[in-house]
Every structure is written in structure tokens, then in C-alpha cells.
Amino acid sequence: MRLIAIGIVAGIFSALLGVGGGLIAVPLLVLFTQLPERVATATSLGAIGITALAGVVAYAYRGEVNFEYAALVGLPAAGGAFLGTMLQQRIRTQHLTYGFAVLLTGVGVWLLVS
């Protein structure tokens, strides 16, 4: 049931704000299912493919997807995902946790002051 709830929350935030995997699902998977961060990240990436497909179908039905821009962003992002995965495997989990916390804090402060 926890995984289903995490999926629903991540899907809602993904459709509303364009976020869900890294910002919502990974922390919830770590906190509520005690998955290690690397496993939570990989699991979230697997779920994002399904989530993204559902979202793009819904938005495309309304004519709101610019497929050219999606390809121009998505193809390099796929390459970045391969590089990011290789980099993540070389960084200690503790450093990933602190870096992620700093990133989330920075984004939160930026959103509050802008």
C-alpha cells in the first residue's frame, strides 16, 4: 500500500509541476520503505517511464505537447542519465544524501524568495 501511495503522490506532482521522481518518489521510498538511496533512485527512474508516458498521452490528447522540443530536451537528457548513473556509482551514499539535501534546500529557498 505504501508503494501505491508513493506512486499516486509522485504522479500527481509530476503532472502538476513536472516533478515527481527525484523530488517526491525517492525521498518517500527511502523514508517509508527503507530502500537504500541507490535502489530508490533506480526504482524511481523505472517508474518515471510509466508516469511520463501516461502524462504525455493526456497532454498530447489536448494538443499541448511540443514533440520537437521534447526530443531536443529528452535525447540529451537520456545521455545525461547514463553519465549521471556512472557518476552516482562512484560517489559515497552519504555524500549523495547531503548533496540532495542541499539541492532541495536551495531550491526551496529560491522559490520562497523569487
**Domain residue extents for the chain:** 2-81
What is the C-alpha separation between 6 and 26, in angstroms, rounded? 9
- As a whole number of Å, the CA-based R_g of the chain is 15
| Cα–Cα dist 77/90, whole Å | 20
What is the C-alpha separation between 47 and 13, in angstroms, rounded?
14
Q: What CA–CA distance (Å, rounded) separates 35 from 27?
A: 10
Contact 56, 78 (CB under 8 A): no
User: What pLDDT, on a 0 to 100 scale, did the predictor assign at position 112?
Assistant: 96
Longest Cα–Cα distance in the chain: 44
DSSP 23: I
Positions of the chain with pLDDT lower than 70, given as ranges = 18, 20
3-state secondary structure of 20: coil
Predicted pLDDT of residue 107: 87
Amino acid 90: pLDDT: 93
